[in-house]
Amino acid sequence: MTASSALRPVAVYGAAGHTARFVLAELKRRGLPAIAVGRNAATLPTDVAAHVAAVGDAAALDAAFAGCAVVINCAGPFLDSAAPVIEAALRAGAHYLDVTAEQASAMAAFERFDAPARAAGVAVIPAAGFYGGLADLLATSLLGGDGAADELSVAVALDRWWPTSGTRITGERNTVPRLVVTQGRLAPLPLPAARSTWTFGAPHGEQAVVELPFSEVITISRHLRVNELRAHLTQSSLDEIRDANTPPPPAVDALGRSPQRFEMVVRARQGDQVRQATARGQDIYAVSAPLVVEAAQRLMAPGFARSGALALAQAVDAGAFLRALCPEPLELA
């Protein structure tokens, strides 16, 4: 991309959705021009330029993305939206980011679009949000961009999980078996999923956790050499998301964030040495916005020259990226 990329707009697909509203607000806060793109004109925001484009309408997607520097896809389930939106972004010569937590979607993006993205001279970065992106950044900050670990563990504590409607729809759609890394290879999660305890910082403390991998397994294993990789979520969070009576996220501040507090810990063992990195903050949906917008801004920066299908921490300097989001919206330890 050229220096003029910084003046070109960022398209946000699925712009009527919960996470997309945070993304559009973050783009506005940073003074970056945005285009809201979605399937229904009546639900699109009215304070930015907007285009209507169904995920299956290639011509409408092409018109919506024309002239854009970056496309950020927030429309889950990504098993349905990612491929056609990536294809349209490539035709537009735009970088692509999404916020999927779906392992199958992230894997398909890596497998299908590396060569086409290289040919187009752009980056395709799936799973750049909370689960896939933040965990990958923390792991890479510990190990280095091409580092290795005997064991890597990711543990996430949520004091509450109020799921969005998109999260519920994605959960129903995503029936693909979950994957972990064992003996250096992706393999199905052993069932029943292992249960244990994990001691987090305040306010979470000691929590019962269940082994539940998301897209972080795919992003981390894309470029880090890890022999064993496991991911855990607080059992109470899983119980809440499985409860049909759990309400959607309530907005409690001027940014529209819920009061949910999260902690993500990435712990690496190399021989006898154990190190860990921790990120804490508020609202896993809201924090995906500064993650993908910071990424978009770096992709548009003069001199950015990476192309292909990349994990977030392959495309950026993980340590510098994390520091740019500290102390707000992330507290790092």
Residue 76 DSSP class: S
Three-class DSSP category at 294: helix
Going by C-alpha positions, the residue among 288, 277, 263, 272 that lies closest to residue 318 is 277
> What pLDDT, on a 0 to 100 scale, did the predictor assign at position 4?
46
Full set of structural domains in the chain with CATH: 3-129+287-332 (3.40.50.720), 142-284 (3.30.360.10)
Pairing, β 123-125 against β 95-98 = parallel
Q: What crossing angle do the helices spanning 78-92 and 103-120 adopt, rounded to 10°?
A: 10
> What pLDDT, on a 0 to 100 scale, did the predictor assign at position 304?
95
pLDDT, tens digit, 9 for 90 and up, residues 211-241 = 999 999 999 999 999 999 999 999 999 999 9
> What pLDDT, on a 0 to 100 scale, did the predictor assign at position 101?
97
Which residues of the chain, if any, have pLDDT below 70? 1-6
> What pLDDT, on a 0 to 100 scale, did the predictor assign at position 234?
98
- The predicted model scores a pTM of 0.96
pLDDT, tens digit, 9 for 90 and up, residues 51-87 = 999 999 999 999 999 999 999 999 999 999 999 999 9
Tokens for 93?
Answer: 């010569």
Q: What angle do CA 263, 14, 25 make, to 5 degrees?
A: 60
Q: 216 with 132: CB under 8 angstroms?
A: yes
First vs last C-alpha separation in the chain: 34
